[in-house]
Copies of this chain bind each other. A is one copy, B any other.
């Protein structure tokens, strides 16, 4: 798109061309052609007369957060950050864009959704697609082999937005990851414990955490007869089982990915299996499955994982589910996904899910996901040194949607400020006195507001308190000034009493710490 000034110049020039043709009595065809060009230019600038006309919107798939949404967001973040801190995590931050090549080859079929920056000279950059790849780049770049960190930041995907269901092109991820060479499944189990804690504390309703292992999937693909080079792409297809019926997933496997019907059917049998530690034990005995060393390693780890989950008291919500695949390329071991199974929100039609007939099918989609990615850091290290990692990402936007709907439904009003006291006056010409008093309050750390008017009406000052939930009003008048007092009004009860200037700060602190 050109600069508006340039277009306006072009419109002027083109206008002259048209006028000249008309004055020269040119042919209608000639004139029409030049008029069309003029209209096109005018359309481009959006107005008839070239007047500035802005499209007042945010970019597709993005949104602003208003103060009420921010208050809810802050509350959700505090719960999540408290949990991450309780588990001893540090935090880091990385830039919103990375060198394009840092992101290349990490996301499989999803790579087409990456936002690139325009080449304005210098490096080629892309917006981060997740927080995991930048984390791996950070570890390799700084030669860090051990860290437990969280990172809360926005990521960017040129996906089809579904904003009412909380799917955006710009959205927050809240990631918790543990990097380091440790004994098997201990950090992995802690990640699931964290999902359990966060979902419980946010009171999101019933939920379920699905668990699987890439080694089990790969082993299963192998014993079912999928060629090696098709593992990742078949994995992507299996991943669609939470949105598509098995029939359609099978169709994709056969028609698009070139599997035989027979192979697809064998996969179909496995991916319908769900259970707990018992299922892992049963599959370890499975004639076909036990032919794959990989699958056996995965199944043994699932058993070990469940034993730790028992100690963490979270097995009630965890399901070993062979249909869980996850789309991203970089997972190498355990994978998991947290799903809300009932919540006061719109439910995804479960018609599309007839291939997986179970309670979980009534789902609002994944709100947490993650897994083990032992190879990713090595892809960045010049010598290929590996740093095993496992982590989880909380899909916070859907949680925001749920919390917002809850807040809408609830009678309780969401406060968007924390103001404790309004400095008001009933009479005229007291602006200076109000500013003096509020200075004392601010200097004492009290959250206070004053109307930016010389002579506001008392009623409008009180109304503002009612509307924004300010609990106290400090009212000044000639009499109060003479007496060295302030009239303190309790907004909720409309009670009023005089208090000396010396005692005012203490009284406000006492009354607002109680509230």
Q: Which residues of A contact B (CB under 8 A)?
A: 1, 3-5, 52-60, 62-67, 70, 73-74, 85-102, 104-105, 115-120, 122-125, 127, 137-138, 140-142, 147, 149, 154, 156, 158, 170, 178, 180, 182-183, 186-187, 190, 193, 197, 308, 311-313, 379-380, 382, 416-419, 431-432, 435-436, 439, 442-443, 445-449, 452-454
A–B complex contacts, Cβ < 8 Å, 27 sampled: A3-B104, A4-B104, A52-B105, A52-B379, A54-B101, A54-B380, A56-B380, A58-B99, A60-B122, A64-B95, A64-B142, A65-B92, A65-B93, A66-B142, A67-B90, A67-B92, A70-B90, A86-B445, A86-B446, A86-B448, A88-B419, A90-B417, A115-B118, A115-B120, A183-B454, A308-B435, A311-B436
B100-A1 in contact (CB<8A): yes
A312 partner, pick from B85, B90, B141, B439, beta carbons under 8 A = B439
A88-B447 in contact (CB<8A): yes
Q: What is the bound-complex CA distance between A287 and B120, given in angstroms? A: 50
A4 partner, pick from B105, B118, B447, B452, beta carbons under 8 A = B105
Residue in A65, A88, A312 with the greatest tally of chain B CB atoms within 10 Å? A88
Residue in A90, A127, A170, A453 with the greatest tally of chain B CB atoms within 10 Å? A90
Q: Min CB distance, A17 to chain B, in Å?
A: 26
B312-A435 in contact (CB<8A): yes
Q: Given that A311-B439, A449-B88 are known contacts, is A59 also in contact with B149, CB under 8 Å in the complex? A: no
Closest to A111 in B: B3
Q: Given that A118-B118, A197-B442 are known contacts, is A417 also in contact with B454, CB under 8 Å in the complex? A: no
A439-B313 in contact (CB<8A): yes
Q: What is the bound-complex CA distance between A312 and B439, given in angstroms? A: 6
B447-A86 in contact (CB<8A): yes
Closest to A197 in B: B442
Q: Min CB distance, A74 to chain B, in Å?
A: 8
Q: Given that A59-B97, A64-B93, A154-B96 are known contacts, is A311 also in contact with B435, CB under 8 Å in the complex? A: yes
Closest to A149 in B: B67
Q: Min CB distance, A463 to chain B, in Å?
A: 13
Q: What is the bound-complex CA distance between A418 and B150, given in angstroms? A: 13
